[in-house]
Every structure is written in C-alpha cells, then in structure tokens.
Structure 1
C-alpha cells in the first residue's frame, strides 16, 4: 500500500498529530534522561535528543513534499548544550504554551556556583615568597636546634674530661645525627641502608682509633674512609636504579660516610682541646641563633666562641691560647650551621643536621689547633 503525503501546512495542526506525540515522548525521555545518565563533567547529549534543542516547526513545510512517515531524529548533528547540569526543555510561554519559533532557550532556575578564583592557584612556599620579597630563602635551624647542639657539645666536653671511653657515648650520638641529617639534607629519604652504612663506618673508625691510639688516629680515619668508598661503590653497582639515581646515591652515601667517620677525630684530638672547642661551639651556635642582624650575629658568635675558649683554656694547660682554638672552632661551627640551613621548612633536617653539623665541622679545628696550643 502506498503512503499518502501530508496535507498542506496551512491546514496541518502539528499539535494533534503524530509528530507532536513523538515530541512529547522526546520531552518525557529528555527529562528522565537528566536524572539518570547525565554527565555533569561534559556537555554532550544523546544523539536521539539533539535535534530537539530547537523546536522543529520550520520543518513542517517539507511534509507536503514527503511521504507520510515519522521524522528521523538522528540525522542532524547538533552542538552540545551550554548547560552542563540539566537537559534542554523546549521554550515555554507564560501560560505553558510553546514559544514562537526562534525564541531563546529558557535559562535554568539556578546556575551552578562558580569555583573560587584561587582554588587552582598553587600556594607559594616560604622560599618562593622570600625570593619575591627580596629576602633570603634559606631558613636557619633556629634556637631549639642550637640548644640541642649546645647540650651535645657540653656532653662531649664532659666526656673528654673523663677519658676516651667517656667521650665515646656522646660521640656515637653525634655520628648518628650526622649520618641521618646529611641524607635528608640532600633530599634522599628514606635511605635507611645508606644511613646505616655511614654510621657503621663511624663506629669502625672509632674502634680503630681506640685500638691504635692517638698517634695512629689519622691513618685509621683515612683508611676507614677509603674502605668505605670502595664498599659504597660495590653496593651502588649492584643497585637496579637508573644511572642518575645511582650516581646521586653514591655521592650522598660517600659524603655522609666521610663526615660521620670524620667526627671520630674527636677521639684523636687532645682532651683539653676537645673540651675548650666543644664549649666554644655551644656558645657560638646559641649566639648565632639570637635575633641580631646577619653580620653582627656572625661577629658576636665568633667573639663569644673565642671568649669561651679563653674561659675553658684557663682551667686547663691551654691558657690564653684557647682564644685561638675557640675562634677557629666557632668559625667552623658557623660553616656547618650554614650548610645545615635549608630553603624549605624541614623539622627533621633542623633537628639532625642542624644539631650535628656545627660540631662535626669543628672536629678538624679541634684536632689541628689542639696540636698547636695543647
């Protein structure tokens, strides 16, 4: 049976025929589609409903030239809807009737809240903010680590007065803080194997110095450093990490082991020099932590260290020459304190490297100047 064409547009009532019924079905499906599968992160509609973004009144004129059949709703691609939260509803008049052809879509009743302007903006770190303000981005350990350094220095001074074995306990604590702090200062964490290896090197150096005596202490310390460099090379060659990471780990482990072994030089220095130098370091780091201008703080710290050297040297055979020993130890302590400073707040770095490095850096001065003045 052949199909009959539609009547002319003038006598056609689109609201009572099949297109209107299908349009109502599409409206109902569109509203149901909103609550079930609408993706708020994109603005794409199902292709079956895309054609009804604008009412198809202008298409009724073509019905007089087409056979009677339902329009195909999946022919024309349509741009995605601008509202990403609700499916499109056809424009309505004030009495619920469809609006005239070409009317703009009705805006949704409630618009989505705009995100905060600074929601995606990265927060500046202390170092970045300091650079923008023209200040130094380096953060010094502060007064609390300085107090711990002073306490450890006093333990070393008291241990040196008791003898080599009395000095051994605070020395092991100094070496443990040095090994752990240097690894974290270089950005390597966790690095338990490297920290343990560096600390073991310090323990071996201490044992060799105690066995060989002060006369052969330099050879024992340098020999331990050489053996630990070779051991670190072997361990890094067995690593399955990338070449850059292995090289970085090698340098961090070697330097950490060298500093930890170097701290064992306190056993090789004269006991009077260790006592005077340790007290000088304690005074220097506390004075440096006081709220004074930069240059003035350095001068005050060095003068205070020299005064502490004189005071302790007067109690021993060093005498006034303790000023030289105290000043030298104070300068080395300030160098170690500067190395322990960090460009981002890190409590672990300040409480390990910030405590140990001032004392570790002062060990060469204690040994060399101690041989001169003691």
Structure 2
C-alpha cells in the first residue's frame, strides 16, 4: 500500500448495501479541471441508497395469464358477459373455462337430500331468515316468554315497590326510578332500535320530570302532572325527529318508538300518584302473577292460575291495609295488565337482553294506570 498525498477535493466513496453495484450515474470520471466528480451534482445523493424491493413499474408489468380457480370461473360466469362479445379472438380458449364448473354440480342434483340447516347454493347469497320467520314457516309460534329468572326480578322489584310505598313517597322514588330506566331501555331494544342513547335518555328524563312534578304538585294532582309531562315530551320527541336527516320512514318509526318509550316511562309514575295502600296491593299482585305465569304449565292454565294467584295476593295484601277484600279486585285488575306487558315482551323471538329489561319492567309499568284508577275508585 503506497502513501498518497492528501487531496482536499477528493470525493468520498459511496457506501451501499452489501453486494450492491454502483449505479452508472455514480461512476467517477475525469473532469475538465483534473478532479474526479459527477456530471450531476445531485446524482451521488440520489443513488446513495438503493431499494431492492419490487417497484411500482415492476408490479404493473403483466406476468402472463394466471390460472383461475373453479370458484372464480363460476362467479365470473354469472357476472361477466360472454367472452365472444368482448374478445372474439379469445373466444375459443375462454369457452372451455366457462364449461368447467358444470362438472361440480351440488349433491342435490344427483338425488341426495341437502342439509336442512342451509339454504340452496346461489351466487348472490341468501338473505338471513330470522328465527321468527322460520318459526312461522314451520307452523310454530314466534313467541318466547321471558322465563323464571326475569319473573323473579319482576317479583323482587314489585316487592320493593310495595315496601317502599308503605314507607313514603320519597322511599318509593328509589325503586320507581329503576323501573322507569329499565322500561325506557327495554322498549327501544324490543323494537330493534339499539343503540338509541338519545331516545332512551329523552324517555328517562321525561320520567324524572313526571316524578318531580308529582312530588311538587301532590298526589291529588297526579293526573295533571303526568299528562302535562307526557304532552311536553311528545312535543320534544316530535321536534327532535323533525331535525333528523334520516329517511321519512325511519323518522316516523323513530318518532313512534320515542313517544311510546317516553309514555311508558312517564306512566310508570302512577305508582307515585296512587294511594300508598293501592300501590302496595297492586305491586304485590303483579309480583305473584308474573311468578305464577312463569310456571311450566300450558298457556291457558297458566293464565288462569296467574289471575287467581294475583287475586289471592290482593286479598292478603289488602288485609294488611284498608282495602280488605276489595284488594282481590285490585289485584286481579293489576294482574291482567301485567300479563299484557308480559305478552308484549315475549313477542317475535326477543333477545335475552329484552327479557331482562322489557320482560322485567313492562308487567309492572303497564299495571301502573290500573293501580291508580282502581285504587282511587275502591279506596
């Protein structure tokens, strides 16, 4: 190795990746002034780092025909036009591809029975058949009742309402607010609208407004407080739906669901407007009626047993209050409304969430107006 004099203008050697060949633009040359350099002053920086990956131009180049699978050719047969219309020259080889899927016919063509769990094979796909539609096609009922666990929760909430009503209005307010919140959420989910935070919040705020109006106006002015709050909340629901940018059908459906949810949550305040003894008897009767309805009996027998049990519970609860034997009528009337709410929560194959919201709350909520009316009439 020989010593060379130091040259301050000597260009640094370019460092590249291992095994990398220098780009032609990087080849040094003898300049006009006797020094080595580059034609382009930016060429050294431009080609300092070389990518070995596939570039866009390399990807864009055609690599020859790619063999197609049988499923792809079957799909293209239904989607693409006949190859003779678009490319007459390529009609002969393409025609053979179109005929290949015919060899893969489904087993049903050969006489074998298809799997009953699946529909016929199609290229576009089949729309999902809901459980309720399948039940109707098979001649079964699309009704699924909530069962014993939601009935037990309804009974627990009913007993809490009965005990709190015997204590006072402010004590009754705690389980009542829980009932109103579960009613608002369950009704929207029962109608297939989820999540519906604005509608649930609006209905629940209407229930709280009705409770506040009842506490301020007193039980003697209960109907005015409930109906006034209901009218205001119907107007609010209408204004909110008019501001929506959804389709007219969707807005109408949302309006009906919002109004119904708010009405049910507000009407549940009837326990707060009713006489304390009437609220106690009615809540106990609903609790017993729902438990009896959940027993594993035929539907007609279950309904009869439920009504008789509610009447008996009304007599027992009335004996501890001023109603006495008249509690049987109050209990039976509350039980009829509770069974209606129970039936509504069972309609059209509801989900488990519906059973534990609407299935728990609707029997007590629907019975609230009857508890108020019969309580005033019999008390």
- Using structure 2 for the length normalisation, give the TM-score: 0.71
Partners in 1 of 2:173 and 2:354 — Cα distance?
24
After TM superposition, the runs of 4+ consecutive aligned structure 1 residues lying more than 6 A away are 33-36, 83-86, 111-116
Q: Give the aligned partner of residue 39 of structure 1.
A: 68
2:368 corresponds to 1:373: no
- What RMSD over aligned residues (CA atoms) do the two structures have, in Å? 2.7
Distance 1:345 1:182, change over 3 A: closer
From 84, 94, 99, give the equivalent of 1:80: 94
SS of residue matched to 1:42: helix
Instruction: Write the deviation string for residues 155-208 of structure 1: whole angstroms up to 9, x where unpaired.
Output: 101110110011001000000011111111112111100000000000000001
| 5+ residue gaps, structure 2 | 1-61, 77-82, 109-113, 121-125
Kindly tell me: are residues 307 and 235 of structure 1, through their superposed partners in 2, closer, same or farther at Cα, counting changes over 3 Å? same
Q: What do the CA deviations read for 1:9-67 (whole angstroms, capped 9, x no partner)?
A: xxxxxxxxxxxxxxxxxxxxxxxx999711211279xxxxx9xxxxxxxxxxxxxxxxx
Does the alignment pair 1:171 with 2:176? yes
Please tell me whether the aligned partners of residues 284 and 333 of structure 1 are also in contact (alpha carbons under 8 angstroms): yes
Rounded Cα–Cα distance in structure 1 between residues aligned with 2:350 and 2:261? 21
* Partner residue in 2 for 1:316: 321
1:233 & 1:114 partners in 2: Cα distance?
54
Please state whether the residue corresponding to 2:144 is helix, strand or coil.
coil
**2:298 aligned residue (286, 293, 297):** 293
Task: State TM-score, norm by structure 1.
Answer: 0.72
> Residue 228 of structure 2: which of 218, 223, 226 is its match?
223
Q: Deviations over 1:120-146 (max 9, x none)?
A: 546754323432343321111111111
Give the gaps of 5 or more residues in structure 1: 1-32, 45-49, 51-73, 87-110
1:345-360 matches, cutoff 5 A: 345-360=350-365
Trace 1:10-159 onto structure 2 (pairs within 5 A). 37-40=66-69, 41-42=72-73, 77-78=91-92, 80=94, 82=96, 117-118=114-115, 120-121=119-120, 125-159=130-164
Q: Single out whichever of 334-343 and 199-208 deviates more from structure 2.
A: 334-343
- Secondary structure in 2 matching 1:78: helix
Contact persistence 1:157–1:276 (CA under 8 A): yes
Q: How many residues are treated as equivalent by the alignment?
A: 290
Q: Does the CA-based 8 Å contact 1:39-1:84 persist in structure 2?
A: no
